[in-house]
Every structure is written in C-alpha cells, then in structure tokens.
Amino acid sequence: MLSVLPEVADALASGAPVVALESTIISHGLPRPENLRVAREIEQAVRRGGAVPATIALVDGHACIGLDDAALEQVATRDDVIKVSTRDLATLVARKGMGATTVAATSHLAALAGIGVFATGGLGGVHRDARNTWDESADLQGLATTDITIVCAGVKSILDVPATLERLETLGVTVLGYGTDAFPGFYLSDSGYRLDWRVDSPAEVAAVMAARQEIGTDGRGIVVANPLPVDEQVDPALHERLLHDGLAAAERAAVRGKDVTPFLLEFFHRESKGVTLEANIRIILHNAELAARIATAAADAEWPR
C-alpha cells in the first residue's frame, strides 16, 4: 500500500527521527526550475537537523513515503502532477496518477506511516471571503483529526488570520509559538495576533507531544509556529502592497478554490521580483531544520539513548 523508501523504513523501525515533507509546495508553490533545487535543499536541512527526510507524494498512484532523487525530479517537473488534498487521495491512487500532497494529505499519509513530525512553509486556513465562499482549507480538518506535529511559519498571509486562529481553537488544535508570543505572519515575523503558549526548545515541544499522548488529546495536531527572524522578513510595506494588489488580481481573474494559493504565490513572486520567493525558501529551510531537531528530541524522549 504505502511505498516507504528503505532509508525511511529503517529509521522508523529503529526509532530514529524522521521528518515528513509535503510536495504541493514543490509542484505548485515554487516556480521551476528553482523548485527542484529547493526540494533537495529542504531534505538537506532536515539532515542537518539530525533526522531522515521523507518527502511525501503520489507517484503513478503509489503513496510514497520518502522519494528518491528520480521521483523528486518527476514531482518537480512533470506537467501532470495534481495538487492533492485528502479527498483526492483515493481517486488518484485508483487512477495511478501523479499527485503532490497538501498539508492535509501529507499529514494523513505521514501518520499512516508512523511519522509524527512534519515541516512545511505555511498552513492553509480560512480565506478572507470565507463568509461568502465557504473556502476553508482541508488543512484545518486534517489538523483536527491527525496525530501530527507541524512546524510552519503560521498560515499563508493571504488568509483571514484571526478567523483561522479561532477555527484552530474550535478544532482542538494545540498552537505553540516557537521563541515567540506572537503568531507569525508567514512572510512577516509577527501577524499581529498573540498566542497563549510559547516554547523555546525542541525538548519543550517533545514534552507537549508526550503529554498529549498521556492525556488522550492525541489524534489531533500540534502546530509549532516558527517565525522568520525580523531581519529576514519581507518589508511589511511591500507585503501590504502585494497582498492588496494580489487579492484584487485574483478577484479580476475569477480564481477560485484550490487555484487561489498557487495564483497568489505566483503573483507575489513575480511582482516582488523574487523577494517573496527568497523569503519563502528561507521559511521552509528554517522549519525543516527545526522539525528535525524536534523529531530528534521526541525520539530521545521515547527511546532514551
């Protein structure tokens, strides 16, 4: 059923730390040809942090937990790679298609494979006009129902951030600020919204993961919100302008549903002449390394060496 890369299977069998990585970011979130280079760099960042990377995707209908370099290249370059959320998994497996998994779909497959820690850039959430469109990412439902710890830089800045935080609360999802009391704003270090809980080390996150098991709130996600350092964030004035213009452009082009995020990311990258792209890459690399350190701390807590 699952095609687990031998290196990942060995790590899981021996209790060594593993970090899941999503593939939508590679196929739909980053432009070619940088996307393949960055996909490899993300895996390197996980290794630097002391864990084994497992990039997750559907390759010819196989649910792959860990991709070898040839598979990674296919996901990054083939035109028939579809953005796959949880609801699309079964259909694409049945049709033996190529799929890049979102946070929701990646979390599902990671948990199925026994991987507890996952690194990404920004979560999906409640869209700004959700009151009319009902557009809320399946990432939230995934977090509500999956035993996973996700390191991210908050949610995508195109979203309604306070509404997303409210939904995370309703769904019983733990949100921890990493080294901060503020919820990060993806390209910005601070979204302007406060968090109730702050942690300052991978061991503290591992302690929350272990306590979650003990108290029986496992089966739900933990979000570790890791901000970009202030000197690495996108200039807030530029960000404000991009957001304003991008949302207007999406409206004019009548972009809907799952196409909204790829459209806006592409708009930002183009209009900022790569400034947001560079920030996006920094975000993912920081998160991959932190996730590896958290997976290591969690493995040490479970199998004291």
Q: Select 3 or 164, whichever has its Cβ closest to ligand PSU.
A: 164
In contact, 243 and 276? CB cutoff 8 Å: no
In contact, 256 and 269? CB cutoff 8 Å: no
Distance CA 12, CA 299 (A): 10
Residue pointed to by tokens 């409210």: 166
The pair phi, psi for residue 98, each rounded to 5°, is -100, 125
Residue 32's contacts (CB-CB under 8 Å, 6 or more residues apart) are 76, 77
Residue in 5, 18, 19, 24 binding ligand PSU, rule: CB under 6 A? 24
Q: Select 66 or 154, whichever has its Cβ closest to ligand PSU.
A: 154
- Find which of ligand PSU, Mn ion, none residue 72 binds, CB within 5 to 8 Å per kind: none
Q: Which of residues 42-101 bind ligand PSU (CB under 6 A)?
A: 85
Instruction: Please report whether residue 258 would count as binding ligand PSU according to CB under 6 A.
Output: yes
Nearest-approach distance from CB 156 to Mn ion, in angstroms: 11
Instruction: Please report whether residue 296 would count as binding ligand PSU according to CB under 6 A.
Output: no
Known active-site residue 258 = no
β-strand partners of 4: 65
Instruction: Please report whether residue 43 would count as binding Mn ion according to CB under 5 A.
Output: no
Q: Select 28 or 239, whichever has its Cβ closest to ligand PSU.
A: 28
Distance CA 213, CA 181 (A): 25
Q: Select 233 or 296, whichever has its Cβ closest to ligand PSU.
A: 233
Known active-site residue 273 = no
Instruction: Please report whether residue 135 would count as binding Mn ion according to CB under 5 A.
Output: yes
Q: Select 258 or 286, whichever has its Cβ closest to ligand PSU.
A: 258
Residue pointed to by tokens 């080390």: 201
Residue in 35, 55, 74, 137 binding ligand PSU, rule: CB under 6 A? 137
Size of the site for Mn ion (CB under 5 A): 1
For residue 229, CA distances in Å to 151, 165, 179, 189 come to 15, 21, 10, 6
Residue 49's contacts (CB-CB under 8 Å, 6 or more residues apart) are 19, 288, 289, 290, 291, 292, 293, 295, 296
DSSP code, position 230: G
Instruction: Please report whether residue 173 would count as binding ligand PSU according to CB under 6 A.
Output: no
Residue 51 amino acid letter: A
Instruction: Please report whether residue 261 would count as binding ligand PSU according to CB under 6 A.
Output: yes
Residue in 4, 9, 18, 22 binding ligand PSU, rule: CB under 6 A? 22
Catalytic positions:
22, 156
Q: Which residues of the chain form contacts with ligand PSU (CB under 6 A)?
A: 22, 24-25, 28-29, 85, 102-103, 121-122, 124, 137-139, 156, 258, 261, 265, 280
